[in-house]
Amino acid sequence: MPPDAYDLYMSLMGKSPYLSDSVLMAAIEKESVLPNVLIKDILVANPQAAKSTDVMDKVDEKSDPMTPEMVAEILLGKYLVATKEKLEAKLSYYRQQRSNALKYLKQLYRNDTIDPFVQDTLIYLLENEQGLQEKYELVFEYVKRENWPAAMTLLGNLPVMYPFDSYRQEAYDDHCQLILIYQELYQAGYGPDSLSEVQGSILEQLADNTQNIAGSYARNILIETNGHEYTEPVLLPETGPKSGNIVFDLPDPATFTPEYIKIYPNPAKDYIIIELLTGNVDGATVRVFDIQGKPVRVTEIPAEQQHYALPVEDLQKGIYYLKVELNGKTLESKKFSKIN
């Protein structure tokens, strides 16, 4: 129940473990369709969910809260490299390889002064690339060849071809102003006196923007037409005394105690997760004591289990001590706070 729960569940599980955070959050919000046990299965099948703050916030915001055991099972995904993450890493690697190859090809074609057809090859390469940066480069290649109709047509189509946010719109406006000035200067003969006062003012504004290529072209025009001086900034490493000393607070080997368990969240409200940082072959015993040392809870962590969700919703507000025993010996004690 309801009838469409199973179909939706099977559809999402069929696309796991590659579901995006937005899809997972939408599934969590469908409380009238997907019960907690099905949502838990979907999140466990997509381990990347446990690493997403947005997804886990949606879990905490559910009007029908999950049990601590369900949440603990989902959180195990924090310690797994999800299939989706592996695929994204591989995709990022191949995209970087392709970007490096494209950069090498463009540099090779632009530096070749012998082959008469290499510039046509560069244009063909840029025409078949889908990135916005390559389209701007193609506009300037058209300008170099004085193919103004192609340059203006491509420039006018860019807002239709790509979604523009405020930053992209600002860069686009800068390129439009720059290309128009290029065309006006070309028609005026591109001489040293062909730059008008208005054009010079616009180019000065463009040259102040060092965040896009239009600013670089604007500086080049100013340098060539009116002797504009520009000094490339040189960033040198810091020299001389620093404002303070760096102090490394290293533990004393004589007093350093290694950590064997972790507990979270702390403070706790409904449950705490106990994480064993050592092996757990035969099982472990968990004992909880109140501030006066009175035992209030004893439970067992099954063998081979590294994480365990301990319910604490029935405990009174206050400070407690948790002790984990492994093979009859105390592994470590931790303090935690219980809140309402």
Tell me whether residue 142 is in a domain.
yes
Residue 193 pLDDT: 62
Residue 245 pLDDT: 53
CA atoms of 18 and 308, how far apart (whole Å): 27
Q: How far is CA 319 from CA 154, 267, 296, 313, in A?
A: 68, 9, 12, 14
Residue 129 pLDDT: 92
Residue pLDDT, tens place only, 17-36: 899 999 999 999 988 889 89
Closest by CA position to 216, among listed 146, 163, 150, 137: 137
Tell me whether residue 201 is in a domain.
yes
Does residue 59 contact residue 74 with C-beta atoms inside 8 Å?
yes
What residues pair up with 274 in beta bridges, in sequence order? Answer: 263, 308
**Is 188 found in the same domain as 292?**
no
**Is 120 found in the same domain as 75?**
no
CA atoms of 130 and 119, how far apart (whole Å): 19
Work out how many domains the chain is built from and give that number: 3
Sign of the CA dihedral 106, 209, 139, 181? negative
Tell me whether residue 152 is in a domain.
yes
Strands (E), the chain: 261-264, 271-276, 284-289, 295-301, 307-311, 318-326, 329-338
Amino acid 54 reads D
**CB atoms near residue 138 (< 10 Å):** 20
Least confident of 157-166, 169-178, 200-209, 237-246: 237-246
Last residue of a domain, one of 199, 226, 253: 226
Tell me whether residue 64 is in a domain.
yes
Rounded to 5°, the CA angle 210-215-220 comes to 120
- 76-90, 137-151, 253-267, range with greatest mean pLDDT: 137-151
CA atoms of 317 and 36, how far apart (whole Å): 28
**Is 212 found in the same domain as 118?**
yes
Tell me whether residue 254 is in a domain.
no
Residue 28 pLDDT: 92
Residue 135 banded pLDDT, cuts 50, 70, 90: very high
Q: Tokens in use for 330?
A: 């105390």
CA atoms of 220 and 10, how far apart (whole Å): 60
**Is 123 found in the same domain as 222?**
yes
**Is 217 found in the same domain as 120?**
yes
**Is 211 found in the same domain as 124?**
yes
**Is 172 found in the same domain as 127?**
yes
Last residue of a domain, one of 226, 249, 281: 226
Closest by CA position to 180, among listed 212, 206, 148, 209: 148
Residue 247 banded pLDDT, cuts 50, 70, 90: low
Per the listing, tokens 């907690």 go with 36
Percent of the chain with pLDDT over 90: 24
Tell me whether residue 245 is in a domain.
no
**Is 278 found in the same domain as 212?**
no
pLDDT (average), residues 313-337: 86
**Is 214 found in the same domain as 124?**
yes
**Is 133 found in the same domain as 221?**
yes
Tell me whether residue 322 is in a domain.
yes
Full residue range of the structural domain in which residue 325 is found: 261-338
CA atoms of 10 and 280, how far apart (whole Å): 35
Supply the CATH number for residue 293's domain.
2.60.40.1930
Residue 204 banded pLDDT, cuts 50, 70, 90: confident
Tell me whether residue 103 is in a domain.
no
Evaluate if residue 315 carries a pLDDT over 70.
Answer: yes
